[in-house]
Amino acid sequence: MNLGFSPLTAGLEYPAAFDLAAELGLFLEVAYDQHEMDPRLPSAQELREMGRAAGVGFTVHLPFVDWNLASLVPEVQQLSLERTQRAIAFGAALGAHCGVLHTGLVPLRLPIALEQGRKRLHQGLARLELGLPVALENLGLSPADLLETPQELAEVLAAHPNYGFCLDVGHALVQRGTGGMEEYYQQLGPRMIHLHLHDNDGSYDAHAVCGEGRVNWRWVREVLRGFEGTAALEVTGGAAGVRRSVELLRG
């Protein structure tokens, strides 16, 4: 298992994040949105050199802030496509193992709006040029999320065989209950190339330290055994939260 963590979620700046990753043998999942928000952060090339010096690799979370690949407004979808394409190029320059992509929102829950949103999502996925492996992440956290079930995500992935699947165990718990992870895995396990690991009590997406909620970590450890892809911790709690989560997963 190739394990990493998100510095953004953990609340760590890059120097501390690299030190922790090097100490624990982890990679870093870089949030592209953070680099859009703060141009003072290192470039992809600079991060890659920092990673090479520290012996630390990367994955990249593609844009999701003020972003909607399924937008019914053509200008919004076009901007989302452009930002995603720039983020993919950023991840490729970083040497990232993979990128993680959300699937969009349709707040207007009318049949014609949902139909058009699905069409826009398919068009957007087809237009993106993938310079690295990209995994579509399960969401279902908001009434506005376009895709609400494992079957819907499976249908999208079936239409786009060049994309993989990112199983977010915390999202699955909130969306589908305690059996949600298994449900997604049964449908999409062969397409899984990445996981997001964090915990919650099932009521909201808390991004708690692993072991502090209702996620079945025994099942997760079994899935990770022999898994050849990547798995990123998206936990709060700073370095201590990352350490406790790593101990649980490696214990």
pLDDT beyond 80 at 74 = yes
pLDDT at 236: 98
The percentage of the chain sitting over the pLDDT mark of 90, rounded to a whole number, equals 98
pLDDT class of 174 with cuts at 50, 70, 90? very high
Domain count, the chain: 1
- Residue range 173-198: mean pLDDT, rounded: 97
pLDDT at 104 over 80: yes
Average pLDDT, the chain: 97
Give CA–CA dist 3/164, Å, rounded: 18
Domain that holds residue 31: 2-250
pTM exceeds 0.95: yes
Identify the pLDDT of residue 54: 98
pLDDT of residue 138: 98
Q: What angle do CA 65, 118, 115 make, to 5 degrees?
A: 125
CATH number of the domain within which 149 lies: 3.20.20.150
pLDDT score of 153 more than 90 = yes
pLDDT band at 213 (very low <50, low <70, confident <90, very high): very high
| Average pLDDT for 125-152 | 97
The beta strand positions in the chain, using DSSP E, are 2-5, 27-31, 58-61, 99-101, 134-137, 164-168, 192-197, 230-233
pLDDT band, very low/low/confident/very high, at 251 (cuts 50, 70, 90): confident
Are the C-beta atoms of 194 and 62 separated by less than 8 Å?
no
Average pLDDT over every residue of 50-67: 98
- Given a cut of 90, whether residue 26 has pLDDT beyond it is yes
